[in-house]
Structure 1
Amino acid sequence: MNIFSSSSFGAWRTPGGDSPLVATRTTDSGDHALTIRPGADVGDLAVVLGDLPADAVFSEHFGDVDLVLIFRQDPGVSAVVPADANPSAGPAAASIQRP
């Protein structure tokens, strides 16, 4: 069975599995575990990544077939921009002019 499909995504791509191809769960310590199974595609990831907090940062990984990525909330960064902030004035606003 070919795991690379040109049609819509779905659980049929991983033979014998009833669990979702991509899933998140919050651990007891407050970390976010993102599990990716063989056959997952960009559409599967995009749907689940929206469930992670905006200030979560990747910290470690486990697994070889079923991959588990651990995201932790960065204690030094807030996901909320203060009302009086000027986001275009910071270093993140730097850009490269394309020819």
Structure 2
Amino acid sequence: MPIFSSGGFGAWRTPGDDSPLVSTQTTDTGHELTIRPGADVGDLVAILADLPPDAFFTEHFGDIDVVLVFRHLPGTPALVPAGVAPSTDPAAAGVSRP
């Protein structure tokens, strides 16, 4: 039985298992995201939206159920302090909070 159904919307994705296809767990050092076979982009986007904006991807574990580890730098805010001009270098990346 394949993981992906050939049926339309609402078809089973991971049969016989009531575990969530994506889940998150807060740890002492950050957050762990678990992604199971059958999860789609919508599942992943919904769970990623719950992570804090200063979390960054550091490592992964697993081969079937994948665990992505996100951490934050202690004491380092994700935002540029008020009055400081951010870099205009195209390689510079920033995170803004809503």
TM-score by length of 1: 0.72
- 2:3/2:37 contact within 8 Å kept: no
Q: CA deviation at 1:80?
A: 2.8
Aligned counterpart, 2:29: 30
Structure 2: distance between partners of 1:2 and 1:64: 15
- Aligned residue pairs, count: 90
2:92 paired with 1:90: no
- 1:1-99 aligned within 5 A: 1=2, 3=4, 6-7=8-9, 12-27=12-27, 29-75=28-74, 77-87=76-86, 89-92=87-90
Structure 2 gap segments, 5+ residues each: 93-98
Structure with a larger share of its residues in helix: 1
Structure 1 gap segments, 5+ residues each: 95-99
Q: State the Cα RMSD in Å.
A: 2.6
Percent identical among aligned pairs is 58
